[in-house]
Structure 1
């Protein structure tokens, strides 16, 4: 899930009973770790002349945390120029059923395969820090790529149909990497926090611009 723009009624986050903080700087620590792992994995890649993209890697980190990495255009990640990113942090609903988890996984896999057709998309990284708590990092050339992402049909289905049934809340951070991944000094531009109301078709949202 990469972006949310849901056409429903919006309420203020101050009315939330739980998780009513943005945690931008805390999340940034994890996103910086994801960027570091992207860079380290990138440096292990040798000849890609006959490679099939996206290049897929799977790491097992501390406490058996699963970390997935996909490279769409790795050569562009080596440049020391400013890159854009979106960081997606989510908390799954405690009563989510196995069928919905499977449906979300399948939609996610189909969407990631289609992203190869978006020229400005460079890499995708996903880490389950603990059960039900996912951190996702999407690295792009610039923020114009987000418009292309939102037009992907499986992305729309995952974001608008499956997301509200799957998550209690999500935080979406937009920012930049000045100097690229080599510098690994991400800066936040804005954060959007969404909390879903499962009893009605509604959500609560709050945005902060840094």
Structure 2
């Protein structure tokens, strides 16, 4: 993995000319997808009269327009309904045209099996969008959960070994959901990381959105 010394720090308005995916205007579309997933998760939980105690994670599949796929994995739904602030990770990737998703799907299944080993992980939503790309929304009860999730060997393998072969570039957002899931509030972004796999060496950058 790249170290903190390897990245480029971007100001709130910087655009890297040869890397247009870093344009902060992309945050508008990214946030629309992530906020939509928050809304769908809120709707699902508010409509469920009884949340089964097992299995965990509890997996739901939603119908989306055009046959697009939307999966919600609930690890700790009771906390989602009661906590008044959630930590957010939003993943927005653009795949290579001929990329094979099978290896990522295999690791994804293994990651589901270890969900309950991550104490702050509450839910994981995956939404298929235009072009066969995916948006992922992960909610945590505490920001410390993000670090715990990142050091998972399976997660690290997916990020370090599989991502460069599947994705051209990635925007990885961090944020908060003030008031909690049921408050109806919107995600507040705090940081975006950019990863470009289009050359032999990884290029990455960080944009801090809040002090």
Q: Which runs of 5+ in 2 are unaligned?
A: 10-14
Matches within 5 A, 1:56-205: 56-79=59-82, 81-96=84-99, 98=100, 101-184=101-184, 185-198=186-199, 200-205=200-205
What is the rounded CA distance, in whole Å, between the counterparts of 1:147 and 1:72 in structure 2? Answer: 17
What's the CA shift string for 1:130-174, capped at 9, x where partnerless?
A: 233211100001110012112211101100000111101111111
What's the CA shift string for 1:74-124, capped at 9, x where partnerless?
A: 00111150111100001001132x3xx211110111112212211111001
Structure 1 residue matching 2:22: 3-state secondary structure:
coil
What is the rounded CA distance, in whole Å, between the counterparts of 1:91 and 1:122 in structure 2? Answer: 25
Does residue 32 (structure 1) correspond to residue 35 (structure 2)? The answer is yes
What is the rounded CA distance, in whole Å, between the counterparts of 1:82 and 1:166 in structure 2? Answer: 33
Aligned residues: 202
What is the rounded CA distance, in whole Å, between the counterparts of 1:150 and 1:17 in structure 2? Answer: 25
Answer 1 or 2: higher relative contact order, Cα 8 Å, separation at least 6: 1
Give TM-score scaled by structure 2 length.
Answer: 0.87
Kindly indicate whether the alpha-carbon contact (under 8 Å) linking 1:6 and 1:160 is maintained by their aligned counterparts in 2: no
Q: Which runs of 5+ in 1 are unaligned?
A: none
Superposed CA RMSD in Å reads 2.0
Distance change in 2, residues 1:50/1:82 (3 Å): closer
Distance change in 2, residues 1:80/1:115 (3 Å): closer
Consecutive aligned runs of 4 or more in structure 1 exceeding 4 Å deviation: 7-13
Distance change in 2, residues 1:18/1:187 (3 Å): closer
Give TM-score scaled by structure 1 length.
Answer: 0.87
Cα drift, residue 204 of structure 1:
3.5
